[in-house]
Each structure stands twice: as C-alpha cells, then as structure tokens.
Chain A
Amino acid sequence: MVFKLMKKEFIEFRKTGKLIAIIVTFLLFSILSPITAKIMPEMIKSISSEITIIVPPPTWKDAFLQFFKNLNQIVFLIVVLLFIGSIAEEKNRRTAGLIVSKGIDRREWVLAKFLFQISLVFVLTIVSFFLCYYYSAILFPYTEFGTSLQSCLLFLFYMTFIISLTIFSSSVGNNIIQAGGIFIAIFIILGILNMFPSIKAYNPIYLSSLENQWIVSGVDWSSSIKTIISSVILSTLLVSVGVYLFNFQELE
C-alpha cells in the first residue's frame, strides 16, 4: 500500500512540474558549484586591477564548499517549499479525508509521503554529488573522493532531519501557511540553540556546518557521531509524532 501511495506522490510531482523544478535545481548547482569555485578568483582579480589581491589558487575543497553552500541555501529552500504542504494542503483541500475514508491506513498515508520525499532527495543528492565530483575532477588537478562523499553523507542525515520536520509541520498544520509557520518557528528555535556551545553538538542543524568542516580539515566521525545520533533520534521522533497526531486528527 505504501508503495502505491508513493507512486501517486511521484505522479503528482511529475504532473505539477514540481519534479522538474527539483531536478533542475539539484543538477544546476552540482555543475555550477565547481565552475564558480574555479572562476571566482579570476573574477575577483579582474574587477580589482588597481591593487593586487593575493588569492590562493582554488582547489577541489572550494568546489565542494560551494556545493554544500548551495545545497544548504537554495536547494534547501526548494525542498522545503515543495514538501511543506504535502499533508496540510491535502487536509485543506479535503482530499486527505476522502482517501482515508476509503479505509486507507492513515499512518501508511503519511509514511508514503515521507518515504517518497526521502527517496527523491537521496537519489538527487547522490546524482548531484557525482556530477559535482566529475566537474571538480576535470577542473582541478586533484579531488578527494572519500572526504567529499562522506561529507555528502552528512548532508543526507541533515536532509532526513529537515524532511522529518516538514512532515511533522505538515501533519500538525491545517494548511500550507500554518505548516510553514510551524516549520520556521522550530527552525528558528534550533538556530538560536545552535549558539550555545554546550548543546551545539546535539543540534541537527549543526550538521550543515560539519559538512564544511570535514571538507576543510578532514573527515572526523568520532567528534560528529553525537550530532548524527541525536539527529537520527529527533528525525524518528518527529515522523512518529506526526504520524501519531495525524492518525487521531479530525478531518474535513
């Protein structure tokens, strides 16, 4: 059943143009990131010909720093925008009520959305990683595969948390505005909590800084494991609570 419901999510994404939007965003930035990293120093030099600025020659690290910056800003935004209404808008438009009134298990209905979103983002992230790696390997003399791949894994953990948070927000909110509000509120709280060094390591959004740290100074699982575990626990909790709440909610 979950698979059949995921299939509907996929068709919806395909028919409403959301699929093409998310694919283009991912692929565009995976190609653009190494290219910008390569030409950025040249550009800086060319606009300031009066004074000589010493810019170190760019490396594969700059390519991947650029890659993660784009993933964490624009791609992040697109992902949230496309997923935040997934449950809330179906409640608002009453299609959720119609489908569950046919005896479809509400928990499976929510889970299908979560699994579809996770699968889509995972596949696109991995494809994007290989594209970025490919261009980086062409443009720079040396690109470290292991480090960049493992940093990309951190991004997948981070995305799992973000998608869990959208699922939670969407199952609590009754329309896309409410769901968006809940998401932003929680995200801001996490942002504030991230300023306290003592608990920073347990904050899932710290994962996005770790990606950069790993690129710059090398992979370090042992000091990041706390963040990963707490992020996985929080993700599981958010999805479970979302599923639980939706299971008992009154629908139109």
Chain B
Amino acid sequence: MSVIRTEGLCKYFKDKKALEELNLEVPKGIIFGYLGPNGAGKTTTIRVLLNLAKPTKGTAYILGEDIRKSRNYLRKVGFLPDVPNFYNFFTAREFLSFIADITGIENPKKRIEETLDLVGLKNEKSRIGTYSRGMKQRLGLAQALLPDPELLILDEPTSSLDPQGRKEVLDLIFSLKGNKTVFFSTHILTDVERICDRIGILKEGRLILEDSIENIKKRYRKRRVLIEVDNLEKFSDKIKETLPLNFLEIKDNSIIIEVSDIQYTLREIPKLIVQNDLVLERLEILEPSLEDVFLEVTSGV
C-alpha cells in the first residue's frame, strides 16, 4: 500500500495554477525527495497533504485515508514547516512537553530527552525566541519526530543548517528508512543523491519526472566518454574520422566525446589506439550527476 497517493490533485490560487494534475505515489518505508525550482509548488503540495489548504480538484490518500473526508491521518504524520516558527516564550523542553501533552505520548519525559538528544538540543535551556534559524529547524525536526509518526513530511529540512548539522540531519533521516516513510522537499541535490530512494521533480505545478535515482541516472545517462592519450591532436583527428560523434571537446589533457552508441564506441577506441600506436592513459564513462538531470529536466531541454 502506498503511504501517499495523489489522484489528479490540483490547487489553483485564483488564476494561478500552483499544482496541476499531480499523480504521485510514495510507497511505504522509502525516502522520497521532492524537487523543483522556486515556486514550483512543493510547499503547496505539502500544505494540501496536511489539510492546511484544500485541493481545487482531485484528492490524495494518506495512510489509506482520503484527505478530503478525514483529518484522522494527521495524528500519524510528523511535519516540519519550511519556515519553522514556534511559541517564543517556551524553551525547547517546554514546547515539546506541550506537544507531548496534546498528542498523548506515553512516557513523555524520556521521549523528550531522547528526541532533544537526537537533534542536538539537549543542552539548550533558553527560550525559543532566542534561537537561530538552524536551531529552530532542529527543534522543528524534534517536534515532528516526537509522536513517533509513520510518515514524516519535511519541507526543506536542511536549508539553514551548517555542514555538520546537515550531515547529522541527513544521517538521522537516513536512519529512519524502513521504519518510517519520509517525504521531503529540497533544492539541495547532493542531499537527495545521498539518501533518497525515489525522487519526483516538479516544475510549474506539474510532476515532470518520478522514478528511482538509479533509473533516472540510467535514463538520462549522457553517453559521454573521457579519454586521455599521449598525443591528443592525432587521436582527436582519427576519432573524428572513424566514429559518429555528437560532440567533442578537448579540455586540459583529455578529450570528452558524446556518442549515441556507447557499446560500439568502447569497442572502437582501443582499436584506434592500437592502430595509431598511441598510449592510452585514461578511459572513463562519465556518470551524469543528479544536478545535470535536474537542470536538463527543469530547463526543458
């Protein structure tokens, strides 16, 4: 069963189509990265899923419940907002014990200490009003995790963390894999590459790509090969004559070529080397980074 399933979900603000026919499926136990440029509709999707905004058309099922008909599922969802803001007069501990109180957590004291430890706020005694943005983001994660939800919806969870904090939080999210389902939006592609199983890319309210990271890389693999030989000019002349190239570039001491048939190319290159009595110093198939894919997909190339 999918933890999140949206069916033709639309959200319009007056004439602005923030979400258009969104069909999304997030299976249980995975980490789902929700990507898209600014204003793509990521936060809007999250607001609709959390019943904070109403869908204009379509619906979504979360943990099997229709979000248009019920709000009970919210009890099993943890949410970190993009701009975390809490009651400034509370300390982190007081705030979490208020959350524990209203969500009915068993053994709250122990759970609060565990959670504060998890997000690195255990020794923080001051009021939330004095916190930095990164600290609020950590507290945001703590309040989302506190009731031990089945589904975590995180809106840009690492956006204002320092490198150390980002690593800690990503490790934390990664450690939840299998036990919980995590749906998180972000702009930071290296984060996604590190921990996500599947991603969805949103552009102008439309989902333009949804797949596992592996498949995406396979699908968007640019057939590029990097070659280094002792005589670059000779080799580049020869390769232009013998192979059908889409693209060739000489950069520093290497040649980068883009071809349509990678198998054929890899068979031909060693032959060329031998025939021309060259020394092969390096041969590498270039992997596309997720960033390449993201830029290619979102710029509509």
Binding site for B on A (CB under 8 A): 1, 4-5, 7-8, 11-12, 15-16, 93-95, 97-104, 248, 250-252
Tell me which residues from 64 to 84 in chain B have a Cβ below 8 Å from any Cβ of chain A: 71-75, 77, 79, 81, 83
**B77 with A98: CB separation less than 8 A:** no
Given A95-B85, A95-B86, A95-B87 in contact, is the A101-B50 Cβ separation under 8 Å?
A: yes
19 contacts between A and B (CB under 8 A): A4-B101, A5-B102, A11-B90, A12-B89, A94-B83, A97-B81, A98-B143, A99-B102, A101-B52, A101-B77, A102-B74, A102-B79, A103-B71, A103-B77, A103-B103, A104-B102, A251-B47, A251-B52, A251-B53
How far is it, in angstroms, between the C-alpha of A171 and the C-alpha of B71 when the chains are bound? 20
Tell me which residues from 272 to 297 in chain B have a Cβ below 8 Å from any Cβ of chain A: none
| Nearest B residue to A104, CB-CB | B102
Inside 8 A of B72's CB, which chain A residues have their CB? 103
**A102 with B87: CB separation less than 8 A:** no
**A98 with B101: CB separation less than 8 A:** no
**B74 with A98: CB separation less than 8 A:** no
Q: Tell me the minimal C-beta distance from A18 to chain B in angstroms.
A: 10
**Cβ-neighbour of A102 out of B85, B90, B99 (below 8 A):** B99
**Cβ-neighbour of A94 out of B81, B90, B98 (below 8 A):** B81
Q: Tell me the minimal C-beta distance from B2 to chain A in angstroms.
A: 20
**A94 with B53: CB separation less than 8 A:** no
Q: Tell me the minimal C-beta distance from A218 to chain B in angstroms.
A: 47
**A102 with B75: CB separation less than 8 A:** yes
Given A4-B101, A98-B81, A250-B54 in contact, is the A16-B89 Cβ separation under 8 Å?
A: yes
**Which of A15, A102, A248: most chain B Cβ within 10 A?**
A102
**B83 with A101: CB separation less than 8 A:** no
How far is it, in angstroms, between the C-alpha of A103 and the C-alpha of B81 when the chains are bound? 15
Inside 8 A of B147's CB, which chain A residues have their CB? 102
**B98 with A8: CB separation less than 8 A:** yes
Instruction: Tell me if B130 is interfacial: C-beta within 8 Å of chain A.
Output: no
**A252 with B52: CB separation less than 8 A:** yes
How far is it, in angstroms, between the C-alpha of A8 and the C-alpha of B89 when the chains are bound? 11
Q: Tell me the minimal C-beta distance from B215 to chain A in angstroms.
A: 32
How far is it, in angstroms, between the C-alpha of A99 and the C-alpha of B94 when the chains are bound? 15
Q: Tell me the minimal C-beta distance from B61 to chain A in angstroms.
A: 16
Inside 8 A of B102's CB, which chain A residues have their CB? 1, 4-5, 8, 99, 102, 104
Instruction: Tell me if B175 is interfacial: C-beta within 8 Å of chain A.
Output: no
4 extra A-B contacts, CB within 8 A, seeds A11-B89, A101-B52, A104-B102: A94-B83, A102-B75, A102-B79, A103-B72
Given A8-B98, A250-B52 in contact, is the A103-B89 Cβ separation under 8 Å?
A: no
Inside 8 A of A4's CB, which chain B residues have their CB? 101-102
What are the 3 closest A-B residue pairs judged by CB atoms, nearest first? A103-B74, A103-B75, A15-B89
Inside 8 A of B47's CB, which chain A residues have their CB? 250-252
Inside 8 A of A15's CB, which chain B residues have their CB? 89-90
Q: Tell me the minimal C-beta distance from A219 to chain B in angstroms.
A: 43
| Nearest A residue to B140, CB-CB | A98
How far is it, in angstroms, between the C-alpha of A102 and the C-alpha of B83 when the chains are bound? 17
Instruction: Tell me if B260 is interfacial: C-beta within 8 Å of chain A.
Output: no
Given A8-B98, A250-B52, A252-B52 in contact, is the A98-B79 Cβ separation under 8 Å?
A: yes
**B77 with A94: CB separation less than 8 A:** no
Inside 8 A of B50's CB, which chain A residues have their CB? 97, 101
Q: Tell me the minimal C-beta distance from A193 to chain B in angstroms.
A: 35
Given A1-B102, A8-B98, A250-B54 in contact, is the A101-B87 Cβ separation under 8 Å?
A: no
Instruction: Tell me if B242 is interfacial: C-beta within 8 Å of chain A.
Output: no
User: Interface readout for B40-62 with A: 1 if CB under 8 Å, 0 if not?
Assistant: 00000001001111100000000
Inside 8 A of B52's CB, which chain A residues have their CB? 97, 100-101, 250-252
